[in-house]
């Protein structure tokens, strides 16, 4: 399973309708959740952004640079915004705006019966998101603006310096190689989505980061790759790892905990024995 970029996928009327004025008028001043930062590069390590709300039309105004904005700044004169993806606690914005949803025609290769969510993505120019993986298969459908997407295969996770599902390497183009020496050795896919109908398939577990050039509007569609019962029922949008993986990582944490009573040299010896044990499970051509 590998990423695939498709061009000229018919996405329906959104391709020509969704300019800032149309979006603004369609939704109006409904309050939405956003991320805001005074830095273009959103940084989950140092939390250089805030969770806030804005009226939707005000968000569009600020993101698109359409006229002067009316409200106060949250942080500074120059700010960067993203519409926040829905999580478990948030209503599905897209579903509540049937008008917008009717404008969007989902690519026909998506298995509808496995669909989990369809999300509107809106960002101001220059926004750069961190690298992370999802447990869902995803297509990212570009509607307005242009973005570069950088991807890394699941097998190179050890070179990405992860914290949970996110890479600590925030600048994928100029990584700090003293701090992250293995990063440049990770295999890298890149593509540019710049026209309505540019559609990127991101397989589950592939790491991805977006570098947006312009005010951007996109739709992402996420669907289950695994059987329904392999995901946590209490996590309807499947943000979490499959249950078997969560259980495995919990057991591993317990195993690591056990070794804490041993002296340093014993602990390190058995850490390595654990790594050897897991390595035996990997294909022979891959030496960790």
Q: From the list 5, 182, 191, 237, which residue makes contact with a second copy (rule: CB under 8 A)? A: 182
- Listed ranges 100-108, 118-126, 211-219, 242-250: which one lies at the site for a second copy (CB under 8 A): 242-250
Q: 147 to 176, contacts with a second copy by CB under 8 A?
A: 154-155, 157-158, 162
Both structure tokens of 151: 């991807």
Position 4 contacts a second copy (CB under 8 A): no
CB atoms within 10 A of CB 227: 9
Position 279 contacts a second copy (CB under 8 A): yes
Name the nearest CA neighbour of 206 among 150, 244, 286. 150
Q: Report yes or no: 13 and 197 within 8 Å, Cβ to Cβ.
A: no
Q: 206 to 235, contacts with a second copy by CB under 8 A?
A: 226, 230
Number of residues written out for the chain: 288
Q: Cβ closer to a second copy: 77 or 260?
A: 260
Q: Cβ closer to a second copy: 89 or 254?
A: 254
Position 2 contacts a second copy (CB under 8 A): no
Q: From the list 4, 45, 50, 249, which residue makes contact with a second copy (rule: CB under 8 A)? A: 249
Q: Report yes or no: 40 and 127 within 8 Å, Cβ to Cβ.
A: yes
- Please give, one letter per residue, the 3-state secondary structure of 68-133: CCCCCCCCCCCCEEEECCCCCCCCCCCCCCHHHHHHCCCCCCCCHHHEEEEEEEEECCCCECCCEC
Residues that contact a second copy, how many (by CB under 8 A): 49
User: How far apart, in whole angstroms, are the C-alpha atoms of residue 60 and residue 30?
Assistant: 12
Q: How far is the CB of 274 from a second copy (least distance, A)?
A: 5
Residues that bind a second copy (CB under 8 A): 1, 154-155, 157-158, 162, 182, 204-205, 226, 230, 241-242, 244-245, 247-249, 251-256, 258-259, 261-263, 265-279, 281-283, 287-288
């Amino acid at each position: 399973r590998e990423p695939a970029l498709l061009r000229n996928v018919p996405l329906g009327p959104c391709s020509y309708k969704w300019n800032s004025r149309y979006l603004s008028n369609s939704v109006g001043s409904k309050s939405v959740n956003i991320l805001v930062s005074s830095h273009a590069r959103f940084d989950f390590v140092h939390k250089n952004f805030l969770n806030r709300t804005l009226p939707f039309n005000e968000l569009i105004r600020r993101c698109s640079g359409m006229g002067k904005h009316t409200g106060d700044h949250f942080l500074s004169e120059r700010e960067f915004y993203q519409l926040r993806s829905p999580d478990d606690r948030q209503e599905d914005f897209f579903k509540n705006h049937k008008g917008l949803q009717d404008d969007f025609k989902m690519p026909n290769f998506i298995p509808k019966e496995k669909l989990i969510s369809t999300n509107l993505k809106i960002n101001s120019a220059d926004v750069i998101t961190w690298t992370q993986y999802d447990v869902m298969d995803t297509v990212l459908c570009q509607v307005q603006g242009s973005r570069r997407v950088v991807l890394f295969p699941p097998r190179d996770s050890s070179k990405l310096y992860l914290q949970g599902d996110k890479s600590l390497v925030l600048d994928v183009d100029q990584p700090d190689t003293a701090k992250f020496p293995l990063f440049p050795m990770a295999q890298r896919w890149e593509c540019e989505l710049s026209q309505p109908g540019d559609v990127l398939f991101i397989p589950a577990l592939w790491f991805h980061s977006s570098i947006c050039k312009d005010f951007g509007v996109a739709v992402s569609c996420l669907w289950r790759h695994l059987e329904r019962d392999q995901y946590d029922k209490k996590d309807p949008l499947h943000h979490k790892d499959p249950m078997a993986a969560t259980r495995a990582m919990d057991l591993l944490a317990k195993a690591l905990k056990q070794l804490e009573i041993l002296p340093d040299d014993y602990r390190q010896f058995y850490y390595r024995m654990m790594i050897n044990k897991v390595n035996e499970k990997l294909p022979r051509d891959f030496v960790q």
